[in-house]
Amino acid sequence: MSEERLALLEKMIAAGSEDPFHHYARAMELRSLGRLEDALAAYRDVIARFEDYVPTYLMAAQVAMELDDDDAARALATAGLAQAQAKGDGHAASELTQLLDLL
């Protein structure tokens, strides 16, 4: 099922979707398929295109941690925390702070 969802999301993105959720969901599908390197690259693409899409940062930092790249995880979480604070998203800020405390 995840392969089918991934194919659908990739088709939507290839057709020009500018909905950040489609791009984010693609990264999530890659992660669920265990394609961590691809997932991290996809999360970074979301950040580059939609830098204020706050949920991306936590997921990207978690994947970086899974890949044993604590420096990348820290950088992603720190950037995400700044975005969350700028948007007044206390919940995301709290989650990102907790992740940073683990690093």
With bands split at pLDDT 50, 70 and 90, how would you rate the model's confidence at 71?
A: very high
Total count of residues recorded for the chain? 103
Quick one: CA dihedral 99, 75, 90, 50, positive or negative?
Answer: negative
Say what the pLDDT of residue 6 is: 92
Fold for the domain defined by 2-102:
1.25.40
Q: Taking the domains of the chain in order of start, what are their residue ranges?
A: 2-102
Amino acid at 40: L
Give residue-wise pLDDT tens across range 4-38.
Answer: 999 999 999 999 999 999 999 999 999 999 999 99
With bands split at pLDDT 50, 70 and 90, how would you rate the model's confidence at 2?
A: confident
CA separation for the pair 9, 7 (Å, rounded):
6
